[in-house]
Amino acid sequence: MKLAKLHDGPEIFHTIQGEGISAGLPATFVRASRCNLHCRWCDTDYTWNFIGTPWPHDHDSRPGYAKFDKAAVTLDLAPETIAALIRERPPRRVVFTGGEPLLQQEAWLEIIRLLRADGSSWIFETETNGTRLPLAEFDAAIDQFNVSPKLSHSGVAESLRLVPDALRHFAATGKAWFKFVASSPADLGEIDAIVATHALPTERILLMPEGRTAAELDRHAAFLAQACIDRGWRFSDRLHVRIWGDQRGV
């Protein structure tokens, strides 16, 4: 399967989960390459913003920023190899991240089968942008879906970033948490509309401040916390940003 490359190997690392409902728990992260969306502020743009693609990115005007050479930032590894790399790390909680992990469900299923064969109490979370329907087998195998629907500030057309059938499906699983990244009151209005239109379960909504530094998180945290209080939603911080900034692999 196609994973993001970090230094000379795949982007597989163990750390603490920094955000969402499992924040603070030790977990091994496995980062898939490829995404079906192209959010203009994406901080894992090396998984999809390849040379030859037409999509803009907020960093385009930054000196030295350039689209990525697909071959240089991707590793193609067998599920057996990936499972072995996960198994040698201490956590038994695994987070599939990306990119968009649901583009490679068959490979993840093979990894899950290989790991669960040892009888350990593995827990598998997957992050997703919520636009792809899970296969029935994948649905059954995953313990927790961390669904992060994208807003208009992503620059992605609504028809691509909000797929009603998929959102309805995740809401019905009872295993999904819906995490929205927000930085302004305008974002809140959009999130309210998405939650209402797609009948997302209000007890499973999280608001998380946008930010790549602690100062940026702090700037948005107070009004988002108040929005959570007003709506009965949860607030999620980004612990990894506070601890390690935007460093990769931690």
Residue 11 · residue 96 · CB < 8 Å:
no
Euclidean distance between CA atoms 230 and 215, whole angstroms:
24
Q: How many residues touch ligand SF4 (CB under 6 A)?
A: 13
Candidate ranges 3-11, 35-43, 168-176, 232-240; the one touching ligand SF4 (CB under 6 A): 35-43
Residues 6 or more apart whose CB falls under 8 angstroms from that of 202 comprise 195, 231, 232, 233
By beta-carbon proximity to ligand SF4, the closer residue of 15 and 129 is: 129
At 96 the three-state DSSP class reads strand
Q: How far is CA 140 from CA 71, 92, 105, 145, in A?
A: 33, 18, 12, 11
Contact region for ligand SF4 (CB under 6 A) — 13-21, 43-51, 71-79, 225-233? 43-51
Tokens standing for residue 178: 């819906």
Is residue 154 within 8 Å of residue 41, measured between CB atoms?
Answer: yes
Shorter beta-carbon distance to ligand SF4: residue 100 or 237: 100
CB of 241 to ligand SF4, least distance (A): 15
Residue whose C-alpha is closest to residue 3's, from 31, 40, 23: 31
- Helix 105-116 vs helix 79-87: crossing angle, to nearest 10: 50
Indicate which single residue of 38, 57, 179, 238 sits in contact with ligand SF4 (rule: CB under 6 A): 38
Q: Which of 4, 42, 194, 195 binds ligand SF4 (CB under 6 A)?
A: 42
Using CB under 6 A, which of 17, 22, 44, 104 touches ligand SF4?
A: 44
Residue 39 near ligand SF4 by CB under 6 A: yes
CA-CA distance, 18 to 250, in Å (whole number)? 10
130 touches ligand SF4 (CB under 6 A): no
Q: Which stretch in 40-48, 114-122, 193-201, 226-234 sits in contact with ligand SF4 by CB under 6 A?
A: 40-48
Interface mask toward ligand SF4 for 157-176; x: CB under 6 A: --------------------
Q: In whole angstroms, how close is the CB of 69 to ligand SF4 at the nearest point?
A: 18
Q: What does the block give as tokens for 236?
A: 């999620």
Residue 169's Cβ-count burial label (10 Å; 0-12, 13-18, 19+) is middle
Q: Which of residues 71-110 bind ligand SF4 (CB under 6 A)?
A: 98-100
Interface residue with ligand SF4, options 22, 33, 129, 183 (CB under 6 A) = 129
Q: Between 150 and 220, name the residue whose CB sits nearer to ligand SF4.
A: 150
Q: Which residues bind ligand SF4 (CB under 6 A)?
A: 35, 37-39, 42, 44, 47-48, 98-100, 129, 150
